Amino acid sequence: MPLLQSLRTWSLAMCGICGILDMRDAPVSPEALAGMTAQLSHRGPDDAGVYLDGAVGFGHRRLSVIDLSGGRQPLRNEDGTVWVTYNGEIYNYRGLRPSLERKGHRFATDCDTEVIVHAYEEDGLDCVSQFNGMFAFALWDRTKRLLVLARDRLGIKPLYYGVFGGVFLFASEIKAILAHPAARCEIDPDGVADYLLCTSLLDSRTMFRGIRSLVPGGILAVHDGELRLHIYWSMARAALRHAGSSLEESRDAVRGLLNSAVAAQVVSDVPLGTLLSGGLDSSVVSALAAGHVGGRLKTFAMGYDHGATLRPDDIDGRYAELVARAYHTEHTEFVFRPEDYRDAMSRVTWHVEKPVDLTSPSLFLLYREVKPNVTVVMSGEGADELFAGYYFFLDRCGSGTPAEFPWAPYLDEVGALLDPDFVARTRCRDRIRATLSADMDSFQSDDPLNKLLYLFLKYYLVEMLERLDKTSMAWGVESRVPFLDHHLVEYVLNLPACYKAKPDINKVVLRSVAADLLPAAVVTRQKRPVPIPVDPKSVWAERNRANALVQAHDSRIAGYFDRKKVDDFFRKKNQFAATDNLAIFRTAHALVALDAWHQAFGVTA
Tens digits of residue pLDDT in 20-51: 999 999 999 999 999 999 999 888 767 789 99
- The full length of the chain comes to 605
Pairwise CA distance, residues 475 & 153, whole Å: 25
Residue-wise pLDDT for 572-583, tens only, equals: 999 999 988 888
Which residues partner with 299 through β-bridges?
Answer: 274, 331
Q: Which amino acid is at 3?
A: L
Pairwise CA distance, residues 433 & 423, whole Å: 14
Residue-wise pLDDT for 513-570, tens only, equals: 999 999 999 999 888 778 888 777 778 889 999 999 999 999 999 999 999 999 999 9
Res. 244 pLDDT band, cuts 50 70 90? low
DSSP per-residue codes, 356-409: --TTHHHHHHHHHHHTTT-SEEE--TTHHHHHT-SGGGTTT---SSGGGSTTHH
Quick one: three-class SS letters along 85-107?
Answer: EEEEEECCHHHHHHHHHHCCCCC
Pairwise CA distance, residues 169 & 18, whole Å: 8
The answer to whether residues 451 and 461 touch, using CB atoms and an 8 Å cutoff, is no
Percent of the chain's residues with pLDDT above 70 = 90
Given phi > 0 = left and psi -120 to 50 = alpha, else beta, which region is 68? alpha
Q: Is the pLDDT of residue 437 over 90?
A: no
Residue-wise pLDDT for 402-431, tens only, equals: 555 656 666 778 889 999 999 999 999 889
Pairwise CA distance, residues 231 & 354, whole Å: 26
Q: What are phi and psi of 573, to 5 degrees?
A: -110, 160
Residue-wise pLDDT for 482-496, tens only, equals: 999 999 999 999 899
Q: What are phi and psi of 400, to 5 degrees?
A: 80, 25
Helix (H, G, I), strand (E, B) or coil at 601: helix
> What per-residue confidence (pLDDT) applies to 7?
28
| Average pLDDT over the chain, rounded to an integer | 89
Continuous segment of H or E residues that includes residue 567: helix 563-571
> What per-residue confidence (pLDDT) applies to 1?
33
Q: Which range (80-89, 129-138, 154-163, 439-448) has the least confidence?
A: 439-448
End-to-end CA distance of the chain: 47
| Active-site residue, 127 included | no
The answer to whether residues 31 and 1 touch, using CB atoms and an 8 Å cutoff, is no
pLDDT, mean of residues 259-270: 90
Residue of 15, 111, 127, 198 with catalytic role: 15
Buried b (16+ CB within 10 A) or exposed e, 68-100: eeebbbbbbbeeeebbbbbbbbbbebeebbeeb
> What per-residue confidence (pLDDT) applies to 262?
97
